Amino acid sequence: MSNKVKDTDEIMIDAGYVPVSGEQIEEESTGIKKLTDEEETVKPKFRPATINELNNGAPQVRRIPVPPNRFTPLKKEWKKIYEPLVKHLNLQVKMNVRSNRVEIKTSKYTEDPGSLQKAADFIKAFMLGFDIDDAIAILRVDDLFIDSFDIKDVKNLGDDHLSRAIGRIAGKNGKVKFAIENTSKTRIVLAETSVHILGSYQNIKIARDSVVSLILGSPPGKVHANLRTITARMKQRF
């Protein structure tokens, strides 16, 4: 009988032998330990970056142009504009009369990285024609936005038809516009052929759909009925 062990013969394994997996061999050869599933799910904890760290310590600046028709309102409401930016957001604000721009700059006391963008959006809202008390809500509420569009982008209208479309949006003594604002909890500014809507994303959609319907020729009565339906649904939901 041959002493050679055939391929089909059973091989005895010593009791002290422990099989080594491919992962263990890889760890021994590379010196890198593979993380367990539990260790992989643990999220690393990093502190929030400060405003100064984001730009290597250099101040960040935003410059907002001032339209000619907003110089007088800006001068009148200047105190209401700069006080919340300086006192609460710790920003620096000045009016550059040479370039006709409002300049906002971070300081060493600025803590929130989003303060500068909020301040810029607030001033832009005021420049678009929103009342100061409505625009300042941008500083207090996180999910407020401005949606702007031109009436001619919805429908290319001639001068007479354009005037009638603007009249339908505003309504007699502004009643239609106020109804849309109150129902959708938004604020609307009509500036020549431009429409600016301030509010949350969902509420802006409600207001925009109503304005677009009026531009396309829907009578105000039908838009009012749709708004009442939306109001009833919102009350049932909440």
Percent of the chain exceeding pLDDT 90 equals 44
Nearest to 186 by CA among 124, 226, 135: 135
**Is the model's pLDDT at 70 over the cut of 80?**
yes
**H and E: helices and strands count for the chain:** 13, 6
Q: What is the mean pLDDT of residues 216-225?
A: 86
pLDDT digits (tens, 9 = 90+) for 143-194: 899 999 999 888 888 888 888 888 888 888 888 899 999 988 999 999 888 9
Sheet of 91-96: strand order equals: 61-65, 101-106, 91-96
Nearest one of 118, 149, 161, 121 to 211, comparing CA atoms: 149
- 1 has pLDDT over 60: no
Residue 33 Cα to chain centre, angstroms? 42
- Give the phi and the psi of residue 186 in degrees, each rounded to 5: -130, 175
Strand, helix or coil for residue 146:
strand
Strands 101-106 and 194-199: unpaired
Q: What's the chain's length in residues?
A: 238
Domain ranges (residues) in the chain: 51-140, 145-237
Give mean pLDDT, residues 96-113.
Answer: 89
Return the residue matching tokens 């749709």.
226
Task: Give the whole-angstrom CA distance, residue 93 versus residue 113.
Answer: 16
Average pLDDT of the segment spanning 188-206: 93
* DSSP letter, residue 207: H
CATH (residue range 145-237): 3.30.1370.10
Same fold, 51-140 and 145-237: yes
Whole-angstrom Cα distance, residue 54 to residue 213?
A: 44
Instruction: Output 19 or 124, whichever has higher pLDDT.
Output: 124
pLDDT beyond 90 at 94: yes
Q: Which CATH architecture has domain 51-140?
A: 2-Layer Sandwich (3.30)
